[in-house]
Structure 1
Amino acid sequence: MTRTKANLAASTAIATAATPEVRTVTLDAPFTRGETKIETVLVRKPKSGSLRGLSLSGLLNLEYGALETLLPRITDPMLSKQDIANLDPADLTQLGSEVMDFLLPKGAKQDLSQRT
């Protein structure tokens, strides 16, 4: 039995979503691009090269311009600048929170979890 391209992509996405370097964000306000309804977005941990031209403080402060530049580089399906501009603010916050969590060192995450 041969796998179709869609089945292969789906199984790859599921396997990838289970790794700590990829997170799945379920959108509060799904949107349609062409004939495809986008309800979830995979966000992968950015490598240093993905951060070129960006300020880490801008990303950690969830600045729109920084997220608008970074998200197309690290999302699947790839979010365009137009997609990002039309996102519900809650969804932009969810995506930005995942980015922020990826950027925090382990020690900082432990400190935060001990304080709460």
Structure 2
Amino acid sequence: MKIPETSVARTVTLDTPIVRGTETIDSVSVRKPGSGELRGLTLMALSQLDYAALETLLPRITSPVLHKADIIALDPADLMQLGGEVMDFLLPKAAKATASH
């Protein structure tokens, strides 16, 4: 899935690349989820970086698409990096401004 150019997206460089067949993925673009992509999830679970919630959401918002098998194989540090980007996307601007002061 190609990330729309109008979307907010960030690239995460993986500490441990994902090997999928003959392909090696060393960076992943994560885009801001739309409300529909949050279906079946709770914001509380995402804010706590719940593994099951990230496993559901990441295939919807990553490029190249990370499949569940890829997420299972992720280095925990890489999962935290991806989850951190998700959390940052979900914070309101006011909360980000307060945190930066």
Under TM normalisation by the shorter chain, which class is it?
over 0.9
Spell out structure 1 runs of 4+ moving beyond 4 A: none
Higher RCO by CA contacts (8 Å cutoff, separation 6 or greater): 2
Structure 1's unaligned 5+ residue stretches are 1-11
- 1:106 correspondence with 2:93: yes
RMSD: 1.7
2:41 aligns with 54
Q: What TM-score results when the alignment is normalised by the length of structure 1?
A: 0.81
The count of residues paired between Structure 1 and Structure 2 equals 100
Offset of residue 32 of structure 1: 1.0
Q: Which amino acid aligns with 1:111?
A: T
- 1:36 correspondence with 2:36: no
2:63 aligns with 76
Q: Distance in 1 between matches of 2:69 and 2:96?
A: 32
Structure 2's unaligned 5+ residue stretches are none
Q: Which has the larger share of helix?
A: 1
Q: What TM-score results when the alignment is normalised by the length of structure 2?
A: 0.93
Higher Cα Rg, which structure: 1
Offset of residue 35 of structure 1: 1.1
